[in-house]
Amino acid sequence: MKVPFSSFLDSSLLLISQIECFHPMKGGFTFVIVQVVALAHLATAKLSPSSAKGNLKYVDPLIGTYSDFEQSEYGGMIPSTGMSKSPPFAMTRWSAMTRLNNVSTCPYVYSDTTIHGFIGTHQPAIWMGEFGQVVVAPGVGNVKTNFADRGLPFTHDHETATPYYYKVTMHAEANQNITAETTATSRVGLMRFSFNGRSSSHVIIDATRENVQGEITISPDQREIFGRNPERQDDKLGPFKARNFNGYFVARFDQPFSSWGTITNGRVYENKTTMTSTWLSAYVMFPEKTSQVNVRVGTSFISIEQARKNLDTEIPDGATLEKTSRHIESVWAEKLDRVNIEGASQDQLTILYTGMFHSLQYPNEKSESNETGTYYYSGYDDSVHEGDFSYTGYSIWDIFRAEWAFLIIFAPERVPGMITSMLQTYKESGRLPMWENLVETNIMVCTWASSLIAEALRKGINDFDLDTAWEAVWKDAMVPPKDDLTLQYYDREENTPQEARAGLTLYKKNGWVPAVRTAEAGTRTLEYAWADFSVAVVANYTGHRNKSKFFLERSENYRNAFNNNTTFMEARMEDGSWNDDASTWTEGNKWIYTFNVPHNFSGLRSLFNETEAFEKKLDMYFQGGHNDQSNEPSHATPFAYLYANKPHKTQFVIRDLLQTSYNVSVDGLSGNEDCGQMSAWAFFNYLGFYPVNPTSGEYMVGTPAFDKVTLDLPGREQNLVISAPGAPSKPYIKSLYLDGRNALSKPILTHEQLMEAKEIGFEMSETPQAWGRDTL
């Protein structure tokens, strides 16, 4: 739930002319507490205390699984188990399934009251489609062929969810119960079903849904069910149809089958062991008095044989649920225990560590190994390739802002492989990914892969093919997409060519993307300019400094979108006239995008002629409730106050947003998680800084929330301590030091300082201070 920011600013932020008289509203924070308490009553969704040790005990996977308004705009989180080597970027995640998932719906929604099975899902975000999934559904008595009919009632009082283990007790017919427990590795799910009734028990495996033709086979002798599912719900987006794609699975049981059969389109075929059809399932019955069944499900994008290999490698015969879940617990704990907090409330610890859990999931693996090497399936050329690293689930328009910076800090060992995977996409498709969900979907705008590559290079990660990286980044920035002058490239327009930078032809000619000719033209102009800054960084680090100067100059094109008469960013027509249509923006409006120049806030300030006018516009933005923390275009805007010489206002806004946009209920995220970006924003701002322009290698200072944070970062020989005594009740910064002696006057920390300093020390105050003013 979002609380309008104007509720806090009416008598504090805008009526301030002197820094000495600025302080939070006396009633402001009381109002926040009332809202959070009310929200908790609406959702009532905390887990029972976890038995996990260390910081993992604070993680609540149910946060972000529900909202009571605008259902599609909640956190969109799937409370899944699943991990890989280190950290947990699982290929297949396993979740209880309370409904059929699709674009705009996740498989688990907290308000639902029945569970219809357990899904091995590849859906990375609520607005993306599922692909190649498999579902395992326990039951008793007669086999129910209809998805809705087989739903088993449950309550959250009998549910436990952690990153490494899930347990729920469901109510079956005739007062019988089924208890399900699950854990998972990257490519294998392990489920244990306990039955306490007198009726015979069974398990159904769903291969495909309606109108999707797949295959399924039952092997009683091997106690296996295996098959394939070619479904791709994003099939109509983008040019790559991946006709040979299949999600393969092998389910192996520890109990013998007493009978079996297949199901297609609601009809049961007893004793049939193989079938190719639509809406396809198989079932196996177990001998009477079978009280417990364990099933392991290996998944693959390559073949049934590879799925079986994954099963045998990751959770081999003889492995127990307890041993597997303990191992997964240790892998998660290793990452989360790298961050230790002093001076935080229980709720803040839950928000922060749950956020870390969210932010260590994407991009996710798609490589698979066997005796001869490591391979991956590419939907771009519809074939299998050899290669050690391959990932998918690239929500780049979202994650380039802060999630990628989080991964560079906490999973630097993964970053070269993630970039190598993007370069594989370039080689196989001709472009870097924008929003890759197995293949390119053309969702969102701009070629932000350049930012991921640039930020990695700027922060010292270069273990990938630099020549190919520059070639790919240059092409995206300079070569228009197919039919650029005839297609408008609307969001989710079906069957379009690769979008890359739609409207680039006229952007290169005019310095802006003309409205009407190309969809969302206002956003494209501003984001192409910002992305050009990242292209300049890549050019500089790959030996093309003459090109770097060109792209730095082109990054000034945001100026072409500024209407001096209205002091708003606005789209322009091809003839240069202004177009104020709301459709020219991507998930925002002219208020939000007027400040969407994070690569050059000082240049944006100059467009207002006077710093005071820039500050007033920012005040109007926050006063008017235009800031939208639920979506990414607003995430950097609070830091614009630093360039208005009002760092205390940045500090006030950040502290307020952390209090009002995040909480520990099931709707504890104010917007979609977007593959970790929402949580990464909170994480950095809890620490006191944020990567406003990620490729600059700088973090803008906001305000730390805790007395002390100790970070054990990969690549550092010793811990980094962030100290801010009194910070929980003192939101304003009086001074900032590195290692106790080097005073910093500017509200900027570099990545080098973050990786090399022993201590970042803040002196905090209850009232606004002059620190950081007149320095930018």
Q: What is the set of domains in the chain, with CATH numbers?
A: 45-336 (2.70.98.10)
pLDDT for the residue numbered 160 = 97
For residue range 605-661, what is the model confidence (pLDDT) as tens digits?
Answer: 999 999 999 999 999 999 999 999 999 999 999 999 999 999 999 999 999 999 999
- Lowest pLDDT segment from 80-89, 185-194, 689-698: 80-89
Burial (CB count within 10 angstroms: exposed 0-12, middle 13-18, buried 19+), residue 271: exposed
Contact 704, 762 (CB under 8 A): yes
Note the pLDDT of residue 349: 99
Lowest mean pLDDT among 78-82, 203-207, 681-685: 78-82
Per the structure block, which two tokens stand in for 417? 């492989």
CA 343, CA 216: separation in Å to the nearest integer? 55
pLDDT at 504: 99
pLDDT value at 39 more than 50: no
CA distance to 244, 289, 339, 641, 660, per residue, from 694 (Å): 38, 60, 22, 18, 25
pLDDT at 430: 98
Q: What is the 3-state secondary structure (H, E, C) of 90-130?
A: CCCEEEECCCCCECCECCCCCCCCEECCEEEECCCCCCCCC
First to last CA, the chain: 34
pLDDT tens per residue, range 122-164? 999 999 999 999 999 999 999 999 999 999 999 999 999 999 9
Global pTM value: 0.93
pLDDT band for 68, please (50, 70, 90 cuts).
low
Q: What are 137's strand-pairing partners?
A: 204
Which has the closest alpha carbon to 216: 259, 277, 266, 265? 277
253 near 194, Cβ under 8 Å?
no
Rounded-to-integer distance, Cα 206 and Cα 220, Å: 17
Amino acid 30: pLDDT: 30
The whole-number pLDDT of residue 33 equals 29
The residues that bridge with 269 in the sheet, in sequence order, are 262
Average pLDDT on 178-189 reads 97
- For residue range 498-527, list pLDDT tens digits in order: 999 999 999 999 999 999 999 999 999 999
Q: Which helix (H) or strand (E) holds 606?
A: helix 601-607
- 377, 436, 396: which is closest to 234 by C-alpha? 436
Cα distances (angstroms) measured from residue 503 to each of 475, 515, 524, 575, 642: 14, 9, 8, 15, 33
Helix axes 346-359, 677-687, angle to 10 degrees: 130
Q: 42, exposed or middle or buried, with CB in 10 Å at 0-12, 13-18, 19+?
A: middle
DSSP string of 416-472, one letter each residue: HHHHHHHHHHHHHHSS--SEEESEE---SSS-THHHHHHHHHHTT---S-HHHHHHH
| Residues 191 and 294 sit within 8 Å (Cβ to Cβ) | yes
Angstrom distance (rounded) from CA 518 to CA 523: 11
Whole-number pLDDT of residue 48: 42
Rounded mean pLDDT of the chain? Answer: 92
The two structure tokens encoding residue 429: 């498709």
Q: What are the residues whose beta carbons fall under 8 Å from the beta carbon of 18, sequence distance 6 or more?
A: none
For residues 383-410, give the mean pLDDT.
Answer: 97
Q: Which residue has better confidence, 77 or 425?
A: 425
pLDDT for 350 beyond 70: yes
Looking at the predicted structure, is the pLDDT value of residue 89 above 60?
A: yes
pLDDT for 595:
99
Arithmetic mean of pLDDT, 183-204: 95
What confidence score (pLDDT) does residue 72 get? 53
* pLDDT above 50: residue 578: yes
Residue 513 near residue 506, CB atoms below 8 Å = yes
Q: What is the pLDDT of residue 69?
A: 54
Q: How many CB atoms within 10 Å of residue 758?
A: 13
Question: Confidence band (pLDDT; 50, 70, 90) for 1?
Answer: very low
Q: What per-residue confidence (pLDDT) applies to 3?
A: 33
Q: Where do we find the tokens 């599922």? A: 130
Does the pLDDT value for residue 70 go beyond 60?
A: no
Does 24 score more than 50 pLDDT? no
Average of pLDDT values for 381-405? 97
Tell me the per-residue pLDDT of 709-732, one tens digit each, with 9 for 90 and over.
999 999 898 999 999 999 999 999
> What pLDDT sits at residue 6?
35
Q: Is the pLDDT of residue 345 over 70?
A: yes
**Residue range 340-359: mean pLDDT, rounded:** 98
> What is residue 83's predicted lDDT score, i.e. its pLDDT?
62
Q: What is the mean pLDDT of residues 37-45?
A: 38
Residue 119's DSSP bridge partners are: 95, 135
Q: What is the pLDDT of residue 76?
A: 87
**Which ranges of 624-769 does DSSP label H, i.e. alpha helix?**
647-660, 677-687, 751-756
> Mind listing the pLDDT tens digit for each residue in 452-487?
999 999 999 999 999 999 999 999 999 999 999 999
Q: Is residue 532 pLDDT above 80, yes or no?
A: yes
pLDDT above 50 (res 87): yes
**Are 80 and 61 within 8 A, CB to CB?**
yes
> What average pLDDT does this structure show over 17-40?
31
Give the pLDDT score at 225: 99
The rounded percent of the chain whose pLDDT value lies above 70 is 92
Residue 203: its pLDDT value, please?
99
Condensed to tens digits (0 to 9), the pLDDT of residues 658-695 reads 999 999 999 999 899 999 999 999 999 999 999 999 99
Please tell me the distance from the alpha carbon of residue 696 to that of residue 694, in angstroms, as a whole number. 5
Give the dihedral of Cα atoms 433, 94, 47, 180; nearest 10 deg. Answer: 170
The arrangement of strands across the sheet holding 152-161 comes to 114-115, 152-161, 166-172, 176-184, 188-195, 292-300, 247-253, 224-229, 213-219, 274-278
